[in-house]
Amino acid sequence: MGAAPVPVPLRIDDPRQIAGYPLHARIGQGGMGTVYLSRTRGGQPIAVKLIRREYAGDPAFRERFSREVAAARRVSGYHVIPVVDHNADGEQPWLATRYVPGVPLDAALDAHAPLPLPTTLQLLACAATALHAVHTAGIVHRDVKPGNLLLTAEGPWLLDFGIARAAGTTTFTTKGRLVGSPRYMSPEHAMGRPVTPASDVFALGLLAAEAATGHHPYGRGNGLAIAARIAGTDREPPALDGVPEPLRAVVAGCLAAWPARRPSAAGLAELCAGAARQDVRDFTGWLPGPLAAEVTRVEQALAGLSAFAEAPTVRSLPATAPLTVTDSEAQPASEWARRVRRDVRPAP
């Protein structure tokens, strides 16, 4: 059974600060770059993503990155992890977002799938609400996938909107690297056609089906094989037999072959709220016990870092509160010189 990812110590070759933000730990690493845990002067935790050097050497990428991240900073709303700072002009571009301790949906599905129906309906409703905010700002996410949804005690959160667009996800590869996530592409994206907000809704439908059943609705295989099946969905629709009602009808609408037949993100949120027959904004006990324990372990790891032990917790902020980022002094990272212990004190 998989475990929730917790912050881990910096490596010898990791930077100790980025543009004045002290780095305290690694959060993760992906195709775009490495993510580090830092904080604002007020002690609020933030995640700083340092973009890979191969992207940094591409002037066209830098231009797109600056434009798309600037647009992403205009997005605000419930269940959206905001971008609070960025720089496209340095040796390596970077961006900073609010950090919320939680478990990425991909890790949750690896360890705990299928998820209960009420959890899946809340997940889909809140993710759709977040996407509505993104779409209202004129942005198409383009890379809605389990790794870009974070499950926390305060509900699910969407991240990395606009960043995939900066990488140029209109094709499968850029500089020999796989860009985007073929397993979660819409038919029009898989066929190289323009993507729209409806493409993001299709991806949410895929996530919901997988969360509810534990398997992808287009079957097994590598990403490109699944993308090929998705591209032919008008001839061979997805298998939704294992998706329980009333979720199945909602997912079927999201996975319509033609974009115009899919609900909007706002409409999808309303459909899920109606199907749930409960307040989808009440997150008391919304996660099953083992998954809630994984979230608690990540919270405890954050609380165990001396840089954050006495700082206000992220729960003290309203869901849409902006962060004021004014750090200008580099701080040593010696307080996180060893691995996170399992016996750190509980989060306040």
DSSP state of 336: G
Would you state the structure tokens that stand for residue 222, as one six-digit string?
A: 């590598």
CA–CA dist 224, 58 (Å, integer): 26
Higher pLDDT, 110 or 1: 110
> What domains are defined for the chain?
103-276 (1.10.510.10)
What tens digit of pLDDT does each residue of 207-245 get? 999 999 999 999 999 999 999 999 999 999 999 999 999
pLDDT value for 305: 80
CA–CA dist 153, 242 (Å, integer): 27
* Binding-site entries for ATP: 49
pLDDT value for 63: 86
Residue 7: pLDDT over 50 = yes
CA–CA dist 301, 5 (Å, integer): 10
Higher pLDDT, 90 or 79: 79
Would you state the structure tokens that stand for residue 284, as one six-digit string?
A: 């008391």
pLDDT value for 61: 85
CA–CA dist 133, 204 (Å, integer): 15
Residue 124: pLDDT over 50 = yes
pLDDT value for 69: 85
Residue 188: pLDDT over 90 = yes
Residue 283: pLDDT over 50 = yes
Higher pLDDT, 46 or 314: 46
Segment 17-25 shows an average pLDDT of: 92
Higher pLDDT, 276 or 71: 276
* Binding-site entries: 49
Mean pLDDT, the chain, rounded, equals 82
pLDDT value for 187: 96
Higher pLDDT, 311 or 265: 265
C-alpha distances out from residue 206 to 147, 164, 181, Å? 13, 18, 12
Residue 340: pLDDT over 80 = no
Would you state the structure tokens that stand for residue 270, as one six-digit string?
A: 């309303």
Residue 307: pLDDT over 80 = no
Q: Which residues have a catalytic role annotated?
A: 143
What tens digit of pLDDT does each residue of 196-215 get? 999 999 999 999 999 999 99
pLDDT value for 18: 94
Which residue's entry shows tokens 């493409």? 199
pLDDT value for 66: 87
DSSP state of 273: H
pTM (predicted TM-score)? 0.82
